[in-house]
């Protein structure tokens, strides 16, 4: 199609054939499918890879009028080959690596990996370390839920709903800084405990911060959660029934929002979750609003857990005797003690409840090398992608953003 | 002076006499104006600027007022949203003024940016339409009166202004068509749907005020407002307020431009100064609608008397009232999320339409009583 003959006549030209330049662009669907859509009354819209959500991902949306008929995801724009990278690093060097998929949720990712090593080496973790790990994991969960709430708000065009959670999240970051020394990717949990003991005054700060978070969530609740426009946008949108949610393999808060009472922290308790008093948040309404509300209520459950942990935390060492004689700090001997760890031959799998759902680590060791033979990470984002795509069907184009936000889909997490 | 066969001096003196016969009366500046009128070339310029139709259209409440308002409202809206959101807002440009000339800096940046016209665009229309869209913005300014200052005085000022405001979406839809891209197409369609949803309530609310005042003449409307129009017909006031939000893509109804969904819709392909022009289109429309709003519901330019400023008081009062109304209105951006298209259309055709019909009946009753 030359330039001149297109402009000479002022008439609308409908290009039934895809333009020749477009053929060179990569779209992960057969060109026949594209041509079929061009010939029918449907409309193909490519959402992304750049869009105002979190990370990069392309959605190929087939529209009939304003109604979504089919959505084909094109993930992988932020794939970093994490599993392959892990095969060339020692077990201890992998800790900062495996935290990277979901930066705000780093403690949960850290915890799952470290527990796989501890399973293999049969290390008993001291009580105080278990409590500290639980506090960190729950702080990470609150941070992630706030982050997702902010992204949902900006998807709905609500800029105040975006700013408030990010401002509240600063308290989580500050708690991380005081406990571990880093704002997001803390790398604080090591096989056999945590890097160093957390002093009493810092735990006091975290305890106070939980109340401050609760106080600051009130205006957010007023302006965003109970906002009639937000309710109108999310209620009865992207509904997934209980059966569908199980069939498409949803995980975490999204599964619980569809009425399935499943939480790894209750089913296979790790750390000190079985000793604490908290509830699984479940909703039966199955739509986007309740997917969001379940996570809002999980924030208050997490705050409850953190307060209990800080009240109950025992004195004592934070690093197991099997790792170090000094039970209070690993500094100066981290590499001496842990760099040449060799796992016994076998396959070790752990299941962790990360903020967005079940996180699976499988560590395969050949029993000779100090590098893992294979590390398999299955992130919650990857698990609920199918359910996310199914829930989009039948919605309107404007619902795509609302459902995207309600799932808190985070491409770096899913792509690893 | 008969140089090229035309009596230039005669034409100039003829124009000068026209300007001079209808000049603004400002007692405060009278000595200065008298002095300037004594200087040959300068007196022509002074007479032109103070000529009432010219002053109304180009200075206040016309083009200059519009530009001042744009500089203020873009800054104020960002600052207000920032205050709600626990932030500071624009502050770096002119720090002593707390970033007050941010909008001007943005405008200059737009001006020197490259304007990219993509290959698929319908080039002539794509480039012309942002500039042509000033026609329906500037024409109503000639009919909106401010006391003694008015471009064209006519008893049909209200219908004319409403008609010109209703023309603006046509340009937006044309812009989306000329952009020839998917998102621009979806944005144009959304604009068209929204247009029909709010236009009828808007016209009905305006007509109900015509019934209340018994005339489409805006002078009559202001004279009759011993009780402000907001109390004479509160239903029309509510309808008009919501329509202002819908018509100018304010946030609960920011559907045609939804940047998270369709990346500014009809304006997605624009860059540089052309984007600057289309971006302020909604703000300009808001200014026109709020001028009309102030005249219909808030007593127009009446209420304040400063003898020293003479004829200048009316345009100033009208301008300040309009800017205050908009400054209150922009807070919705920080409070509401965006409705979906079908929800907004349903609202427009059911609740808003019903309310506007009720306001029409109410207006007829009030007009009959008055």
Residues from chain B that touch A163, judged by Cβ atoms under 8 A, are: 85-87
Put simply, whether B333 touches A (Cβ < 8 Å) is yes
Chain A hits for B253, CB-CB cut-off 8 Å, are none
Distance of CA A316 to the CA centre of its chain: 32
Which residues fall within 8 angstroms of residue B93, CB to CB, at 6 or more apart? B99, B101, B102, B105
| Unique residue bearing structure tokens 């409440």 | B61
Same domain, A155 and A261: yes
Q: Which of B186, B259, B336 sits opposite A227 (nearest CB)?
A: B336
For residue A367, count CB atoms less than 10 angstroms from its CB and return exposed for 0-12, middle for 13-18, buried for 19 or more. Answer: exposed
Peptide bond between residue B61 and the one before it cis (omega within 30 degrees of 0):
yes
* Same domain assignment for residues A106 and A11: no
The Cα A220–Cα A163 span in angstroms is 9
Tell me which chain B residues have a C-beta less than 8 angstroms from the C-beta of A7: 123
Chain A touched by B341 (CB under 8 Å): yes
Residues A32 and A178 in one domain: no
Which pLDDT score, from 0 to 100, does residue B56 have?
A: 82
Q: Is B337 in Cβ contact with A233 (below 8 Å)? A: yes
Among A12, A41, A74, the domain-final residue is A74
Q: Is residue A51 domain-shared with residue A125, that is, in the same domain?
A: no
φ and ψ at B213, to 5 degrees?
A: -90, -10
Question: Within 10 A of B108 (CB to CB), how many other CB atoms are there?
Answer: 13
B232 touches chain A (CB under 8 A): no
* pLDDT score, position A131: 92
Q: Which two tokens stand for residue A271?
A: 């750390």
Angstrom distance (rounded) from CA B5 to CA A345: 108
Residue B139: the pLDDT is 87
A313 with A409, same domain? yes
The pLDDT of residue A1:
44
Residues of A with CB under 8 A from a CB of B: 3, 7, 10, 43, 45, 51-52, 66, 153-161, 163-164, 167, 223-224, 227, 229-230, 232-233, 396-401
For residue A72, give the DSSP letter.
E
The dihedral through the CA atoms of B353, B355, B357, B363 has a sign that is negative
Residues in chain A within 8 Å Cβ distance of B251: 157
- CA B219 vs CA A161, A379, B144, B212, B241: distances in Å: 44, 69, 10, 14, 22
pLDDT (tens place) for every residue of chain A, 416 residues total: 444 455 455 555 555 555 555 554 566 777 778 788 888 888 888 887 776 666 688 888 888 888 898 888 888 888 888 889 999 888 888 999 998 888 888 899 999 999 999 988 888 889 999 999 999 999 999 999 999 999 899 888 888 988 999 999 999 999 999 999 888 888 899 888 898 889 999 999 999 999 999 999 999 999 999 999 999 989 888 888 889 889 988 898 999 988 888 888 888 888 888 888 888 889 888 888 999 999 999 999 999 999 999 999 998 888 888 888 888 888 888 888 888 888 888 899 999 999 988 999 999 998 888 889 999 999 998 888 888 888 988 888 888 888 988 888 888 888 88
Tell me how long chain A is. 416
Determine the structural domain holding residue A269 and report its residue range: 82-415
Q: Tell me, what CATH number does A243's domain have?
A: 1.10.645.10
User: Do residue A216 and residue A113 come from a single domain?
Assistant: yes
- Rounded distance, CA B299 to CA A272, Å? 69
Query: Which residue among A10, A157, A396 sits closest to B251, beta carbon to beta carbon?
Result: A157
Determine how many CB atoms are found less than 10 A away from the CB of residue A19. 10
Same domain, A158 and A102: yes
A223 min Cα distance to partner chain B (Å): 7
In terms of domains, do A148 and A261 share one? yes
A222-225 long-range contacts (CB < 8 A, ≥24 apart) are A223/A160, A223/A161, A223/A164, A223/B335, A224/A149, A224/A153, A224/A158, A224/A160, A224/A161, A224/A164, A224/B337, A225/A292, A225/A293, A225/A296
Q: Does the model's ipTM exceed the 0.85 cut?
A: no
pLDDT of residue A408: 83
- Tally of structural domains, chain A: 2
Q: Which pLDDT score, from 0 to 100, does residue A300 have?
A: 92
pLDDT on residue A16: 57
Closest CA to B251 of A230, A54, A243, A134: A230
Q: Does B182 touch chain A (CB under 8 A)?
A: yes
Can you give the three-state secondary structure of A186-247, one letter per residue?
CCCEECCEECECCCHHHHHHHHHHHHHHHHHHHHHHHHHHCCHHHHHHHCCCCCCCHHHHHH
Q: Do A319 and A405 reside in the same domain of the chain? A: yes
* Domain match, A65 and A120 both: no
Q: Which residues of B touch A398 (CB under 8 A)?
A: 255, 258, 261, 338, 340-341
Last residue of a domain, one of A74, A97, A130: A74
SS (H, E, C) B259-288: HHHHCCHHHCCCCHHHHHHHHCHHHHHHHH
Q: What's B51's DSSP letter?
A: B
From A74, A100, A126, the end of a domain falls on A74
Chain A residues inside the 8 Å CB shell of B332: none
C-alpha angle B183/B185/B191, rounded to 5°? 100
Q: Is A360 exposed, middle or buried (0-12, 13-18, 19+ CB in 10 A)?
A: buried
Q: Give the helix ranges, DSSP H, for chain B.
A: 8-21, 30-37, 40-49, 52-54, 63-84, 102-112, 123-132, 134-143, 157-179, 182-213, 218-223, 229-232, 234-247, 259-262, 272-279, 281-297, 313-329, 332-335, 341-347, 353-369
Across the interface, of A3, A224, A401, the residue whose CB is closest to B261 is A401
Distances (CA, A) of A387 to A251, A333, B209: 9, 46, 53
Report the candidate in A377, A41, A326 with the shortest Cα–Cα distance to residue A195.
Answer: A326
CA B224 to chain centre: 24
| In contact, A330 and A81? CB cutoff 8 Å | no
Stretches in chain B below the pLDDT threshold 70: 1-5
Among residues A78, A47, A28, which one has the least CA distance to residue A415?
Answer: A78
Predicted pLDDT of residue B306: 79
Find chain B residues with C-beta within 8 A of A227's C-beta: 335-337
What stretch of H or E contains A306? helix A288-312
- For residue B309, give how far its alpha carbon lies from the nearest alpha carbon of chain A (Å): 43
d(CA A118, CA A407): 32
Q: Are residues A69 and A192 in the same domain?
A: no
Of the candidates A52, A164, A398, the beta carbon closest to that of B341 is on A398
- Asked if B85's CB is within 8 angstroms of A159's CB, the reply is yes
């Amino acid at each position: 199609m030359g330039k001149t003959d297109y402009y000479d006549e002022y008439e609308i030209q409908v290009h039934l054939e895809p333009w020749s330049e477009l053929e060179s662009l990569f779209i992960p669907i057969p060109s026949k499918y594209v041509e079929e859509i061009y010939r029918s009354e449907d409309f193909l819209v490519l959402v992304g890879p750049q869009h105002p959500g979190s990370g990069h991902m392309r959605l190929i949306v087939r529209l009939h009028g304003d109604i979504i008929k089919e959505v084909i995801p094109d993930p992988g724009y932020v794939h970093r080959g994490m599993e392959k990278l892990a095969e060339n690093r020692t077990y201890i060097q992998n800790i900062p690596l495996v935290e990277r998929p979901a930066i705000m949720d780093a403690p949960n990712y850290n915890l799952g990996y470290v527990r796989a090593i501890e399973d293999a080496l049969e290390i008993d973790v001291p009580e105080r370390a278990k409590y500290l790990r639980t506090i960190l994991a729950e702080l990470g969960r609150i941070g992630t839920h706030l982050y997702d709430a902010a992204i949902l708000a900006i998807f709905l065009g609500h800029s105040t709903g975006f700013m408030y959670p990010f401002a509240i999240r600063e308290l989580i970051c500050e708690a991380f800084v005081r406990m571990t020394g880093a704002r997001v990717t803390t790398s604080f949990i090591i096989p056999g405990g945590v890097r160093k003991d957390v002093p009493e005054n810092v735990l006091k700060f975290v305890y106070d911060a939980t109340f401050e978070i609760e106080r600051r969530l009130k205006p957010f609740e007023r302006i965003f959660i109970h906002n009639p426009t937000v309710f109108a946008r999310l209620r009865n949108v992207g509904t997934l029934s209980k059966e569908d949610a199980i069939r498409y393999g949803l995980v975490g808060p999204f599964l619980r929002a569809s009425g399935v009472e499943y939480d790894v922290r209750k089913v296979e308790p790790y750390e000190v979750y079985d000793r604490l008093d908290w509830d699984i948040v479940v909703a039966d309404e199955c739509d986007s609003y309740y997917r969001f509300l379940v996570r809002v209520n999980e924030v208050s459950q997490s705050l409850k857990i953190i307060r209990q942990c800080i009240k109950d935390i025992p004195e004592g060492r934070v690093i197991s005797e099997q790792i170090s004689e000094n039970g209070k700090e690993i500094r100066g001997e981290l590499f001496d003690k842990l760099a040449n760890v060799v796992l016994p031959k076998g396959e070790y799998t752990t299941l962790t409840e990360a903020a967005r759902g079940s996180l699976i680590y499988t560590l395969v060791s050949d029993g000779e090398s100090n590098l893992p033979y294979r590390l398999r990470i299955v992130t919650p984002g990857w698990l609920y992608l199918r359910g996310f795509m199914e829930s989009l069907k039948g919605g309107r184009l404007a619902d795509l953003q609302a459902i995207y936000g309600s799932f808190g889909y985070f491409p770096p997490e899913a792509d690893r | 002076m008969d140089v090229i066969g035309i009596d230039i001096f005669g034409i100039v003196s003829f124009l000068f006499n026209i300007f001079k016969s209808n000049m603004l009366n400002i007692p405060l500046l009278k000595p200065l104006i008298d002095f300037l009128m004594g200087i040959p070339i300068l007196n022509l310029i002074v007479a032109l600027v103070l000529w009432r139709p010219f002053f109304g259209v180009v200075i206040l409440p016309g083009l200059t007022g519009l530009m001042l308002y744009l500089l203020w409202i873009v800054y104020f809206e960002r600052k207000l949203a920032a205050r709600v959101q626990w932030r500071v807002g624009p502050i770096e440009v002119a720090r002593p003024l707390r970033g007050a000339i941010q909008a001007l800096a943005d405008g200059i940046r737009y001006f020197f940016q490259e304007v990219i016209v993509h290959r698929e665009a319908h080039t002539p229309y794509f480039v012309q339409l942002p500039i042509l869209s000033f026609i329906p913005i500037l024409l109503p300014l000639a009919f909106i009166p401010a006391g003694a200052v008015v471009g064209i005085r006519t008893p049909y000022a209200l219908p004319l202004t409403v008609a010109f405001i209703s023309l603006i979406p046509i340009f937006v839809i044309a812009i989306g068509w000329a952009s020839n891209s998917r998102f621009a197409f979806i944005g144009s369609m959304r604009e068209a749907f929204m247009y029909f949803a709010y236009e009828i309530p808007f016209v009905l609310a305006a007509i109900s005020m015509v019934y209340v005042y018994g005339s489409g003449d805006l002078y009559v409307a202001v004279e009759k407002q011993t009780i402000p129009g907001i109390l004479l017909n509160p239903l029309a006031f509510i309808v008009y307020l919501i329509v202002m939000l819908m018509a100018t893509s304010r946030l609960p109804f920011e559907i045609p431009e939804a940047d998270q969904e369709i990346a500014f819709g009809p304006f997605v392909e624009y860059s540089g100064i052309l984007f600057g022009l289309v971006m302020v289109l909604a703000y300009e429309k808001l200014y026109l609608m709020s001028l009309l709003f102030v005249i219909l519901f808030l007593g127009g330019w009446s209420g304040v008397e400063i003898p020293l400023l003479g004829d200048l008081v009316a345009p100033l009062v009208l301008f300040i009232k309009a800017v205050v109304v908009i400054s209150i209105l922009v807070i919705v951006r920080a409070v509401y999320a965006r409705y979906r298209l079908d929800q907004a259309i349903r609202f427009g055709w059911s609740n808003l339409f019903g309310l506007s019909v009720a306001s029409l009946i109410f207006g007829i009753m009030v007009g009959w009583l008055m």
